[in-house]
Structure 1
Amino acid sequence: MTKSTVLTLVGSLRAESTNQKLAEAIQLNAPEQVDVVIHGNLGNIPFYNEDIDVEGQVPEAAAALRAAANEADTLLLVTPEHNGTVPAALKNAIDWLSRPFGAGALAGKPTAVVGTAFGQYGGVWAQDEARKAAGIAGAQILEDVKLAVPGSMVRFAEVHPKDDAEVVEQIKGVFDAITASQPAA
């Protein structure tokens, strides 16, 4: 059986980000037939600017992101909520992946959005905005994939998400939904 690759982009740049920890828990709980790759720091990618998005001159970090997304079977965006919306680093990654328009790395790519946030709703506004932006950019949004963990700063103050039985069970549901959305082999 061929392994499928899920490229995971974490919208938070903090080293101790609860969303980074959630991505790690997702990676640790992936089914055997799924390889979860967490992309490096999105903070290294310059803000999208069409003037620098020129063949042969694309910044290395942006080119690496595009290459990783092109190779992946599915994208998983893991986002905190910044002022009620998606963080700039994640939105910037979506912008780079959307170009060239209609033929970017997001075009037709199955994409899911999950995350955790301090608030009582677990960052659902940011997740909705990320789905919207990725969908407009051409991604095939996996609407049935849901995971929003509220109260992250308290909930994960002393427990890593990988050790939270409820979160691990929800992660299994994420993979079940991703698998159900993929065409039969």
Structure 2
Amino acid sequence: MNESVKILGIAGSLRKGSYNRAALRSAQKLLPDSARMEIFELDGIPPFNQDLETQPPSAVSEMKSEIRSADAILFVTPEYNYSVPGVLKNAIDWASRPHGDNAWDGKPAAIMGASIGMFGTARAQYHLRQIFVYLNMYALNRPEVMIPSAADKFDATGNLVDEDTRKRIKELMLALTNWTLRLKYTQKKLAAA
């Protein structure tokens, strides 16, 4: 299979100096040759309003279009109050609505996250996996990339300086690429049957 995989990367943080945004930029540099990644910033996504779901704001329409054109999604999430941040949940809600117009449907997805704490966003990642069930996303189970003590893993300008973390992110990106190609191949076989 000589197919290229288009990954859409989304960081669940708006903070300019976010370790999660830095981790996402690192992932973009650590892709296998058979993949490419575009990053979608959530800065312009307004709070979800069901009154507007059938005629969403242009930033939401753009996001849904980017999701649909991607072969796979990489979520990079901080952890707030044992869960995903509101900005990420808001984007997920917009892109899954209205009922019957779920842009996430059938997308392979991987998760990673960075935290200054010792759990490295484990609880937020597991909560996001629960959300994937309803969205009908195909979560990559392994490898898991949880980046604890993130202040020690990135320099002052957001460059990843920890070699072990770099290795784990590279493994995750290869696994997501292979997982996506496997799912594409299976879908093609089923369609031809």
Same fold (TM over 0.5): yes
**Shift in Å, 1:179:** 3.0
1:39 aligns with 2:40: yes
Q: Match of 1:43, SS?
A: coil
**Shift in Å, 1:12:** 0.7
The answer for the alignment partner of 1:52 in structure 2 is 52
Greater CA drift, 68-77 or 140-149: 140-149
Question: Structure 1: where are the runs of 5+ without partners?
Answer: none
Residue by residue, what CA displacement relative to the aligned partner does 1:116-167 show, whole Å, maximum 9, x if unpaired? Answer: 1111010111111112113212212222241000011343254745332111
Q: Is the 1:107–1:138 Cα contact (8 Å) retained in structure 2? A: yes
Structure 2 distance, partners of 1:142, 1:155, is 24
Structure 1 distance, partners of 2:164, 2:100, is 39
Paired residues for 1:64-83 under 5 Å: 64-83=62-81
Q: RMSD in angstroms over aligned alpha carbons?
A: 1.8
Greater CA drift, 149-158 or 44-53: 149-158
Q: Match of 1:15, SS?
A: coil
Match of 2:138 among 140, 152, 159: 140
Q: Match of 2:160, SS?
A: helix
Q: Is the 1:79–1:86 Cα contact (8 Å) retained in structure 2? A: yes
Question: Structure 2: where are the runs of 5+ without partners?
Answer: 186-193
The answer for the alignment partner of 2:171 in structure 1 is 173
Greater CA drift, 79-88 or 100-109: 100-109
The answer for the alignment partner of 2:103 in structure 1 is 105
**Shift in Å, 1:47:** 1.6
Structure 2 distance, partners of 1:134, 1:76, is 12
2:66 partner letter? A
2:45 partner letter? I
Greater CA drift, 16-25 or 110-119: 110-119
1:15 aligns with 2:13: no
Structure 1 distance, partners of 2:53, 2:93, is 11
Structure 1 distance, partners of 2:143, 2:132, is 14
Structure 2 distance, partners of 1:159, 1:92, is 28
The answer for the alignment partner of 1:24 in structure 2 is 25
**Shift in Å, 1:103:** 3.9
**Shift in Å, 1:61:** 0.8
Q: Is the 1:145–1:178 Cα contact (8 Å) retained in structure 2? A: no
1:67 partner letter? S
Equivalent pairs, count: 182
Structure 2 distance, partners of 1:45, 1:159, is 26
**Shift in Å, 1:180:** 3.3
Amino-acid identity (%): 32
Greater CA drift, 173-182 or 72-81: 173-182
The answer for the alignment partner of 1:85 in structure 2 is 83
The answer for the alignment partner of 1:127 in structure 2 is 125
Residue by residue, what CA displacement relative to the aligned partner does 1:26-53 show, whole Å, maximum 9, x if unpaired? Answer: 001111211111102x131112222111
